[in-house]
């Protein structure tokens, strides 16, 4: 049943309720507000039974409020869950009589339970009793809104439990809904359907996210099959990263997805909640790391390392944390060769967590110095609105130079799809995109385009080398390579 059908049934439900109002001791006017977007609602509930159950809820509210005297406004917020009884919050202004409130809440609590398939479904029933309320009063008791309540509960979790909660949320709620829509794609969209099967079969639990996405030609086929504004394919990858606890990589993708998503697309409907939870986690990581930095600044390197070791058990995939762990450890080493060896080992871990981590410790050649500078340059991007497009192009070029070909390709495709040629100085962005795919081992996608791409790929390499060799940082080193 589509969302139009669901809204129509709700309208019919309210019309039927109207026939009861005439016999009420008090006149009661009801309206329903759906908090859960239709794209999510039509996947997470069985709509016909759910509409019937909503009718029972509204009938119960109407039957109880018709006995309430006076002019009042009442809000009943209902959140239906997958694995527990519905949460119900009732507030009124002026407040209901003590007996009336108890009778209403007891009646709602005693209704037959309804459950969702995946994520929560929430709505509010708003009742105007007689003339309603024309006073500036607060609802009593205060109404608990689902998203606020959930965030408050999330904030109270221990850090390790927050990470676990996000992973479970992705695996059991968000990813199944994404899979539902990808698997419903028309047959000709083989790439999208392939990604849906990967999610449906939960292959991301046993395989590297990169192997299922950027190293998989079907991922890029799916990327190219989607219409503008619908970033469900990179969102799929971000969800896999979140399920795996790879928050740094997920954050890069989520940052980009937000800029290019239509407000009513599925990724956009989840982005605010994901961002809110990620902000809480990121703030906790920052606070915890800063405690270690304070120890380091006091010369307490051993204590700092011990602090970081404890944190790494909770946040093993934080590039910043792994870097600070290295930094405090190296501070205890007097031998420069040991420091270099420690960095060689640590940077593999750091750049696995975040290939674009904007720090490198040493550079002995012009190329190393240039790449060190390019990493640091990431921190200067996206500071001014007027530089947004040029910053995205620069971001893609830096990712290519740092050999993060998957992220670079994602950016180049978006640039090609959304920006005018003058925004990237009429460069051959398609060649840059396909060059990255070629580096990832995808030799299929290039067949969809006409052109001498081996020659174009050579031009891409020559262009990046020219930019590097003209850099003052590169020239400052006596040894170029």
pLDDT digits (tens, 9 = 90+) for 407-444: 999 999 999 999 999 999 999 999 999 999 999 999 99
Q: What is the pLDDT of residue 6?
A: 54
Strand-pair partners of 78: 88, 123
- Percent helix, strand, coil in the chain, to 5, is 65, 5, 30
Entry pTM: 0.91
Q: Per residue in 70-129, pLDDT tens?
A: 999 999 999 999 999 999 999 999 999 999 999 999 999 999 999 999 999 999 999 999
CB atoms within 10 A of CB 337: 8
Strand partners, 140: 92
Average pLDDT over residues 14-22: 47
Q: How confident is the model at residue 202 (pLDDT cuts 50, 70, 90)?
A: very high
Is the pLDDT confidence value at 50 over 50?
A: yes
What distance in Å separates the CA atoms of residue 60 and residue 63, rounded to the nearest whole number?
Answer: 5
Give the model's pLDDT for residue 481. Answer: 83
95 SS3 class: coil
pLDDT at 22: 46
Residue 9 has pLDDT above 60, yes or no: no
Contact 23, 39 (CB under 8 A): no
Q: Does residue 54 contact residue 10 with C-beta atoms inside 8 Å?
A: yes
- Within 363-404, residue ranges assigned H as helices are 366-377, 388-401
pLDDT tens digits, one per residue of 279-325: 999 999 999 999 999 999 999 999 999 999 999 999 999 999 999 99
Cis bond upstream, residue 94 (ω within 30): yes
End-to-end CA distance of the chain: 63
Distance CA 347, CA 353 (A): 10
Q: Are 93 and 140 in contact (CB under 8 A)?
A: yes
pLDDT confidence band for 224 (50 / 70 / 90): very high
Query: Could you tell me if 393 and 421 are in contact, meaning their C-beta atoms sit under 8 angstroms apart?
Result: no
Residue 121 · residue 6 · CB < 8 Å: no
- Helices 159-169/232-243 angle, 10° precision: 140
């Amino acid at each position: 049943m589509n969302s139009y059908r669901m809204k129509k049934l709700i309208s019919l439900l309210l019309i039927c309720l109207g026939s009861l109002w005439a016999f009420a001791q008090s006149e009661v006017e009801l309206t329903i507000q759906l908090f859960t977007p239709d794209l999510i609602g039509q996947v997470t509930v069985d709509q016909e039974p759910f509409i019937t159950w909503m009718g029972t809820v509204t009938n119960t509210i109407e039957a109880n409020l018709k006995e309430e005297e006076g002019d009042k406004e009442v809000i009943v917020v209902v959140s239906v869950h997958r694995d527990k009884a519905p949460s119900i919050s009732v507030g009124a202004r002026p407040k209901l009589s003590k007996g009336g409130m108890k009778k209403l809440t007891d009646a709602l609590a005693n209704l037959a339970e309804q459950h969702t398939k995946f994520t929560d479904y929430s709505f509010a029933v708003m009742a105007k009793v007689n003339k309603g309320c024309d006073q500036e009063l607060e609802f009593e008791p205060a109404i608990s809104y689902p998203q606020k309540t959930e965030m408050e509960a999330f904030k109270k979790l221990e850090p390790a439990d927050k990470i676990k909660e996000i992973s479970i949320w992705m695996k059991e709620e968000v990813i199944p809904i994404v899979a539902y829509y990808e698997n419903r794609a028309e047959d000709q969209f083989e790439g999208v359907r392939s990604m849906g099967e990967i999610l449906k079969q939960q292959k991301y639990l046993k395989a590297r996210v990169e192997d299922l996405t950027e190293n998989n030609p079907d991922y890029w086929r799916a990327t190219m099959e989607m219409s503008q504004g619908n970033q469900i394919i990179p969102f799929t990858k971000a969800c896999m990263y979140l399920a795996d606890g790879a928050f740094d990589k997920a954050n890069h993708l989520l940052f980009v997805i937000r800029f290019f998503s239509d407000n009513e697309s599925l990724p956009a409907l989840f982005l605010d909640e994901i961002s809110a939870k990620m902000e809480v986690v990121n703030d906790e990581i920052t606070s915890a790391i800063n405690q270690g930095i304070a120890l380091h600044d006091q010369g307490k390197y051993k204590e700092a390392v011990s602090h970081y070791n404890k944190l790494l058990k909770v946040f093993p995939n934080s590039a910043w944390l792994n870097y600070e762990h290295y930094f405090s450890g190296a501070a205890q080493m007097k031998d420069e060769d040991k420091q270099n060896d420690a960095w060689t080992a640590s940077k593999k871990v750091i750049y696995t967590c975040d290939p674009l981590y904007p720090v490198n410790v040493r550079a002995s050649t012009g190329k190393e110095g240039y790449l060190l500078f390019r990493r640091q340059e990431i921190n200067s991007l996206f500071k001014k609105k007027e530089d947004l497009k040029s910053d995205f192009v620069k971001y893609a070029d830096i990712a290519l130079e740092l050999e993060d070909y998957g992220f670079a390709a994602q950016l180049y495709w978006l640039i090609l799809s959304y920006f005018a040629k003058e925004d990237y100085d009429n460069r051959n962005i398609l060649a840059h995109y396909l060059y990255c795919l070629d580096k990832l081992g995808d030799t299929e996608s290039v067949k969809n385009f006409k052109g001498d791409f081996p020659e174009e790929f050579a031009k891409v390499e020559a262009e990046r080398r020219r930019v590097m060799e003209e850099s003052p940082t590169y020239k400052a080193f006596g040894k170029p390579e």
